[in-house]
Amino acid sequence: MTHTRVPVERLRKFSIAVFEAAGAPHAHAVRATDVLIWASLRGVDTHGIRNLKRYYLDASGVGRRDGRIVFDAELTLDHESPTTAAFNANGGLALSLSVQAMECAIQKARESGVGLATVRNSTHLGPAGYYAWMAVEHDMVGFASCGYLFPHGQTKSVLPFGGLLPMLSTNPLAMACPADKLPPFVLDMSTSIVPVNRVELYEEEGRAVPLDWALDVNRQPTTKPSDVHSVVPLGGATNFGGHKGYALALASWIMTSLLSGAWRTDADRSRVLGAINDPKYGFSQEGIGHFFAAVRIDQFGDPLVFRQGMDAMIQAMNDSPPAEGFQRVLVPGQDSYATEQERRREGIPINDATMAALQSLSEEYHVTL
């Protein structure tokens, strides 16, 4: 599959215009686009502009059983304290509303030292790392997570360790913090061995997936993306170590979906995802749940010393001897930062399938590509 380099600003203007044509207010369109472009710039193509059509504009998009995102929905407040806020996204555009929730967490941290925000009844989060990264410029440590539970099981979801029924979304965890002279630390990881949309990306590019990523309907390892029925947790579905990825996925779900009130006894069934939307043991999940946090570094010491300490750690890792097949030992965020610099200069590579999707949006919404 070939790739076409598209200048960043051209792609950004197109995305904003499409979101607006679909009914999103300008501010939502800008925030949502900035999240997608950030992912594409940093080489996280699974969560970037390739998802504009399939996840956010198509009727079969992620996080919207009822066939649509409410593009003009705003966050409403369920509960609040000086350090916490619990929001309802009202089925709105998570890419934008999550930015606002993280901004709330940052503001509360600015005032009280720490800020925590949950969001329920939401849609697809996009790259969790973006929201954690938002805290960096404020000399804060940022956290973000997202989760969903399918109590009846769901195709192309994640298996519990030792189980046969795929029940969890990939429930990512993200953390970011500033360094001093070096790029910030940005961790963004799924709690499955691979995010499901990476399997989708391999399928559209005609590539086989590694044998240890996923199982087919007969619960056998498969290299064919089209045959994937379930994805394994980080560490494996039954191998030693898989219990850790599974436990992290549950921890993410507790913070994002139970704490937020997404897992509830009175869920709107049109907002319950998966093939079966019946409650189980009285509960079901209404929309996707998110969690955001920001912590002020100066509550623990001098931020400059912290940042310089990060530099020293990163340099120590970089200078350590690499294993065979590796050129250098890196820390989370370094590779992505380098990719961002290159793509800002050369443009974002768009594969044929994504280009066709963008062309389709151009025709549907009468926006020049």
Question: Which tens digits make up the pLDDT trace of 251-261?
Answer: 999 999 999 99
* Residue 290: strand pairing partners: 119, 146
pLDDT at position 250 over 90:
yes
- Binning pLDDT at 50, 70 and 90, where does residue 59 land? low
- Collapse the DSSP code of 106 into the 3-class scheme (helix H, G, I; strand E, B; otherwise coil) and give the result: helix
**Do residues 101 and 94 lie in contact, with contact meaning Cβ atoms separated by under 8 Å?**
no
- Specify whether 264 is located in the same domain as 116: yes
Euclidean distance between CA atoms 327 and 319, whole angstroms: 11
- Specify whether 58 is located in the same domain as 179: no
Question: Which tens digits make up the pLDDT trace of 186-202?
Answer: 999 999 999 888 998 89
Structure tokens at 143: 């956290």
Q: What is the pLDDT of residue 63?
A: 47
pLDDT at position 303 over 90:
yes
Give the predicted TM-score (pTM) of the model.
Answer: 0.95
- Specify whether 123 is located in the same domain as 247: yes
Helix (H) or strand (E) holding 233: none
- Specify whether 22 is located in the same domain as 92: no
Q: What is the pLDDT of residue 2?
A: 86
* Residue 264: strand pairing partners: 284
Going 324 to 326 to 330 to 332, the CA torsion angle's sign is negative
- Collapse the DSSP code of 225 into the 3-class scheme (helix H, G, I; strand E, B; otherwise coil) and give the result: helix
Q: What is the pLDDT of residue 240?
A: 66
**Do residues 60 and 368 lie in contact, with contact meaning Cβ atoms separated by under 8 Å?**
no
**Do residues 312 and 4 lie in contact, with contact meaning Cβ atoms separated by under 8 Å?**
no
- Specify whether 62 is located in the same domain as 88: no
- Specify whether 84 is located in the same domain as 179: yes
Q: Which domain CATH number covers 85?
A: 3.30.1370.60
pLDDT at position 82 over 70:
yes
In a domain, 251, yes or no: yes
Question: Which tens digits make up the pLDDT trace of 119-151?
Answer: 999 999 999 999 999 999 999 999 999 999 999
**Do residues 143 and 182 lie in contact, with contact meaning Cβ atoms separated by under 8 Å?**
no
In a domain, 163, yes or no: no
Euclidean distance between CA atoms 232 and 243, whole angstroms: 11
- Specify whether 117 is located in the same domain as 174: yes
- Specify whether 8 is located in the same domain as 103: no
- Binning pLDDT at 50, 70 and 90, where does residue 66 land? low
| Domain count for the chain | 2
Q: How far is CA 230 from CA 78, 170, 286, 361, in A?
A: 35, 11, 22, 30
In a domain, 155, yes or no: no
- Specify whether 67 is located in the same domain as 79: no
Euclidean distance between CA atoms 44 and 214, whole angstroms: 20
Euclidean distance between CA atoms 266 and 269, whole angstroms: 9
Q: How far is CA 52 from CA 33, 61, 99, 158, 164, in A?
A: 9, 10, 17, 23, 32
In a domain, 350, yes or no: yes
CA atoms within 13 A on the CB side of 73: 21
**Do residues 106 and 47 lie in contact, with contact meaning Cβ atoms separated by under 8 Å?**
no
Q: Which domain CATH number covers 37?
A: 1.10.1530.10
- Specify whether 86 is located in the same domain as 174: yes
In a domain, 253, yes or no: yes
- Collapse the DSSP code of 176 into the 3-class scheme (helix H, G, I; strand E, B; otherwise coil) and give the result: strand
Q: How far is CA 36 from CA 31, 55, 226, 275, 348, in A?
A: 9, 11, 25, 28, 12
Contacts of residue 197, defined as CB under 8 A and 6 or more positions apart, other chains included, come to: 46, 47, 51
In a domain, 160, yes or no: no
In a domain, 221, yes or no: no
Structure tokens at 134: 């938002």
The alpha-helical segments, DSSP class H, found in the chain are 8-21, 26-41, 51-56, 94-112, 128-133, 196-204, 242-253, 303-319, 334-346, 352-365
**Do residues 303 and 139 lie in contact, with contact meaning Cβ atoms separated by under 8 Å?**
yes
- Binning pLDDT at 50, 70 and 90, where does residue 268 land? very high
- Specify whether 128 is located in the same domain as 15: no
Show the domain range for 186.
75-149+170-190+240-270+282-321
- Specify whether 353 is located in the same domain as 367: yes
In a domain, 110, yes or no: yes
